[in-house]
Each structure stands twice: as structure tokens, then as C-alpha cells.
């Protein structure tokens, strides 16, 4: 992540159509040139771009390439229903016993969800309007799936600095449109189903 986000090496590295994915595979990443987000859930690749600040999600991956991609199929997983509100702190407490690396797959109902889609630069360092990330929020009551990784000692390689998670969201709007992107903040209502998987780096 440091090489891509800080040093600007955003060239194509992985042709997404060449991936062979198991049904339980989870993945998160960014398109070449940082021109969108890559989310893999249940072995299916989904791409989000927002060139005009309108999110478009596609599953026909064609000739898309990723410049950054983390994928894993967990060796084993455990699921639990969270009785309280779920946010980054409470999710970290649940995931701590899976350290140093776990897959995360959460399904729940949104109380708050803030997401970005990259548009040509690191979202934390974009300096021109053309490369400012597209920001979107899901309405309260929206059902969402959060997928990605818990890696408390991987800042700069698998996660951004300041967080132990690299999560993407997939949500369906009231109009029936599917949206995805990189999670910046979340709070889910009680009853979220949390599935954590053991894997190796």
C-alpha cells in the first residue's frame, strides 16, 4: 500500500480476469491509476468507479487491472451475532484473537456508513479537484456487507495508517442500485452478523 499510495506506483499489476477465485475468497484493492476500487466477495469481483462523482459498479471485469490487491480464502471461520452496535472499536475487540491477520465479512443494517471511491490519487493526499475521491454515505436502515481484513500490525502494507482494518462496503440503495467502495467509518445496528476467518499472510 505504501508503494502505491505514497510513492505513486499505480501501474497495472494484476489482470482481474486472470484470477481463479474460490467461492469463499475475499479481496480488497484499487484499480490501476487509482481510478476506482476493487472488492471481491464470495469469489466475485466488483469494481466501483466514479469519474464524474457518480458511482458505477460493474461485475463484467473485462480488461480491468488492479494496482493494489489483497485476497485470501480463510482456512476456517467463525460467525457470531453482535448484540450491540458494531463500529471499528467493537469489531477490533472481536477480531483481536484472530491476530495477526483475519478476513472480515459482516452483514448488517447501517446506522452510519461513510465510503470513498478513489479517482486518480491517494484519497488522503489528492490535491486537485479532478483527483478528489468521491465520497458517499449510506442512508440509515440500508443493509450493507463489509468485507476485507483485520491486520493490526500491517499499517502501510495492508491497511492505511491509523486503522487495523482494510474494509470495503457493498450496499444496495433504495433505488436498487449497488454501490461499493472503501470504508472510512461505520456504525451498524445491533444484530450484525460477523464472520471472521483465519488466514496466513
Can you give the CATH number for the domain in which 96 is found?
3.30.1330.80
C-alpha of 9 from chain center: 20
C-alpha cell read off for 46: 466488483
Do 117 and 175 lie in one domain? The reply is yes
Q: Which of 44, 72, 100 is the last residue of a domain?
A: 72
Across 163-183, average pLDDT:
92
pLDDT score for 113: 98
Helix, strand, or coil (residue 147): strand
- β-partners of residue 108 are 144
Q: What is the pLDDT of residues 102-153, one digit of tens each?
A: 999 999 999 999 999 999 998 877 778 899 999 999 999 999 999 999 999 8
- Domain with 162 in it: 76-198
Do 191 and 109 lie in one domain? The reply is yes
Do 107 and 90 lie in one domain? The reply is yes
Q: What is the pLDDT of residues 58-83, one digit of tens each?
A: 988 999 999 999 999 988 889 999 99
C-alpha cell read off for 119: 479517482
Do 99 and 190 lie in one domain? The reply is yes
Q: What is the pLDDT of residues 26-51, one digit of tens each?
A: 999 999 999 999 999 999 999 999 99
Task: Tell me how many domains the chain contains.
Answer: 2
pLDDT score for 88: 97
C-alpha cell read off for 106: 459482516
Listed residue (134, 128, 123, 137) closest to 1, CA to CA: 123
Do 104 and 161 lie in one domain? The reply is yes
pLDDT score for 117: 97
Amino acid at each position: 500500500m505504501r508503494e502505491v499510495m505514497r510513492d505513486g506506483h499505480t501501474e497495472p499489476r494484476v489482470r482481474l480476469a486472470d484470477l481463479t477465485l474460490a467461492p469463499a475468497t475475499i479481496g480488497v484493492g484499487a484499480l490501476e491509476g487509482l481510478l476506482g476500487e476493487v472488492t471481491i466477495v464470495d469469489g466475485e469481483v466488483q469494481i466501483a468507479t466514479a469519474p464524474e462523482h457518480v458511482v458505477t459498479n460493474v461485475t463484467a471485469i473485462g480488461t480491468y487491472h488492479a494496482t493494489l490487491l489483497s485476497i485470501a480464502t480463510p482456512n476456517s471461520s467463525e460467525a457470531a451475532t453482535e448484540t450491540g452496535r458494531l463500529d471499528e472499536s467493537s469489531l477490533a475487540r472481536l477480531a483481536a484473537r484472530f491476530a495477526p491477520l483475519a478476513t472480515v465479512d459482516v452483514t448488517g443494517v447501517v446506522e452510519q456508513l461513510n465510503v470513498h471511491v478513489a479517482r486518480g490519487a491517494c484519497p488522503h493526499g489528492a490535491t486537485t479537484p479532478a483527483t478528489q475521491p468521491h465520497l458517499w454515505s449510506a442512508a440509515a436502515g440500508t443493509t450493507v456487507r463489509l468485507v476485507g481484513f483485520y491486520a493490526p500490525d500491517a499499517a502501510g502494507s495492508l491497511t492505511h495508517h491509523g486503522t487495523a482494518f482494510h474494509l470495503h462496503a457493498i450496499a444496495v440503495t433504495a433505488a436498487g442500485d449497488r454501490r461499493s467502495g472503501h470504508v472510512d467509518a461505520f456504525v451498524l445496528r445491533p444484530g450484525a452478523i460477523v464472520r471472521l476467518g483465519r488466514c496466513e499472510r
